[in-house]
Amino acid sequence: MGIRKNTVKIKTALISLSDKSNLKPLLNLLKKYKINIISSGGTFKQIKSMGFKCLEISKFTNSKEVLNGRVKTLHPKIHSGILNIRKNKEHQKQMKINNYKNIDLVVVNFYPFEEVLKQKKNHKNIIENIDIGGPTMVRAAAKNYNDVTVICNPNQYSKLIDNLKVNNGSTNLSFREKLAEDAFMETAYYESKIFNYFNKRSENPLPNKNIFSGKLVEKTRYGENPHQKAAVYTQNNNIDIVQLGGKQLSYNNYNDLYSALNISKSLPKDKGVAIIKHANPCGVSINSSKIKSFREALESDPVSAYGGVVSCNFKLNIGLAKEISKIFFEVLIANGFDKKSIKLLKKKKNLRIIDSSKVDKNFRVNFLSKFNSILVQDQDNLVFSKKDFKIVSKLKPSSETLNKLIFAFNVCRNVKSNAIVITKEYKTIGIGSGQPSRIDSCNIAINKMNKFQKFKGENKLLAASDAFFPFVDGIEKLVQAGISAVIQPSGSKNDKEIIKFANQTGTILVFSKTRHFNH
């Protein structure tokens, strides 16, 4: 766009701040260029205490604050001073008749609504921390950027100082237009948080109009491929994951990381390891021994695990850190790390080390954006219990076997559809994922099992399917491979045939009341 000069001399600045940090360098420069300052409340007191001249807004408007401070800056003299078009003769005529003065610079930031939400639970207190005057002034100044400069973040002070210096107490049009863009970004983001607060109270995840907002965490080097641009945003003040070491996370790292957390956060508390590759699990185990749990997850598919993501649903100790360090992984996730393990792991410069102990697994909705549309759904976070399943075969599972089947089904819902998971005890031994045909997923899971597992004697192998088998051929393939019990959703027109086959072959069959596609 280039720099369009069209400079505007700053003669009067209005400053009203919740965040009063880093203000002195700006005040020094305003004093240098003999810019008058008007302000209110705590900001007025702060500026005066720092030794700078300042006129209180109530004296500027000849109107006292009312309604316990709810109305301070909502005054025609303030908004006419901001909104009047300097080259509009009618505007200037009205300004003269009313004895209104121009306001050329607006420096405002808002009540910290997001911070208040974290600290307060009382609805009335939260409502009182919704800023009205601040966003109104910022929007007014941004609308009139041709004549007015607007600053709404202390991080912008240095750029304002530089622009004032370059233009000898004025600002140029390109700068003001970019600041207007930033201002509308800030007001829209602020309003979105207020809307989301009310929307959460009403428990309406799918309103008639929706607002999605996020803060930039970082721009990744590129997207899924080098020709794509990508970035990560957080919907909270801070991202929940904390990187403790290693290279910058890539877009693909983030995608795999989220898939890993979906699984590991659904495992029993402080128990279990999941290994992910290309957003799919290649091994999951919940052995009570942390090292055995890792080894079992790795043994499920050691070839695919290479260069993948390891997610531990517990605090990592030095013993397991040594074991993991023997193999190349891109990302290691855990619910914290002891000092010795961190010291060891940081020696591997390419290993991204992630602390997930503060991750909130109960986020509200998932988004998928394509072709200028956004798909929204709440998350598949059902906590399974035995009442969610129905035993439909003549041969009944023991309580322990049913628990093992539920483990397999829980893993299965985190595998890309069509999904088949084969388990033994509480570990995966074969995973088939992402196939258009369910029987193809059966074949892949069986082939993985036969490739990497060495069985001795009788094995009690279990299998889970994320959706129903449309025909008998799928469950038949599993039974032929040695599976003794199957868990799957009901709903096929051939359910009776599936049950009949299970009974003929002495296979335990359990139906789920819910389906769990993961596309």
For residue 414, whether the previous peptide bond is cis, meaning omega lies within 30 degrees of 0, is no
Q: Which two tokens stand for residue 71?
A: 């109305």
Of 45, 48, 75, 143, catalytic: 143
Could you please report the per-residue DSSP string of 455-502?
Answer: --S---EEEEESS--SSHHHHHHHHHTTEEEEEEE---TTHHHHHHHH
Task: Work out the burial of residue 417: count CB atoms within 10 Å of its CB; fewer than 13 is exposed, 13-18 middle, 19 or more buried.
Answer: buried
Classify each residue of 239-255 as buried b or exposed e, where b means 16 or more C-beta atoms within 10 Å of its C-beta: bebebebbeebbbbbbb
Of 278, 322, 340, 346, catalytic: 278
Number of C-beta neighbours around residue 119 at 10 A: 10
Alpha carbon distance 493, 470 (integer Å): 7
Alpha carbon distance 282, 263 (integer Å): 12
Alpha carbon distance 100, 263 (integer Å): 63
Q: Give the three-state DSSP class for 189.
A: helix
Torsion of CA 360, 362, 365, 370, to 10 degrees: 50
The widest CA-to-CA distance across the chain, in whole angstroms, is 100
Q: Phi and psi at residue 110, in whole multiples of 5°?
A: -100, 165
Alpha carbon distance 445, 286 (integer Å): 19
Q: Is 143 among the catalytic positions? A: yes
Torsion of CA 406, 407, 411, 413, to 10 degrees: 10
Q: HEC profile for 237-290?
A: CCCCCEEEECCCCCHHHHHHHHHHHHHHCCCCCCCCEEEEECCEEEEEECCCCH
Closest Cα to residue 472, out of 423, 507, 517? Answer: 507
Neighbouring residues of 500: CB distance < 8 A, sequence distance ≥ 6: none
Distances (CA, A) of 240 to 116, 235, 237, 308: 18, 10, 9, 21
**What residues are annotated to the active site?**
143, 278
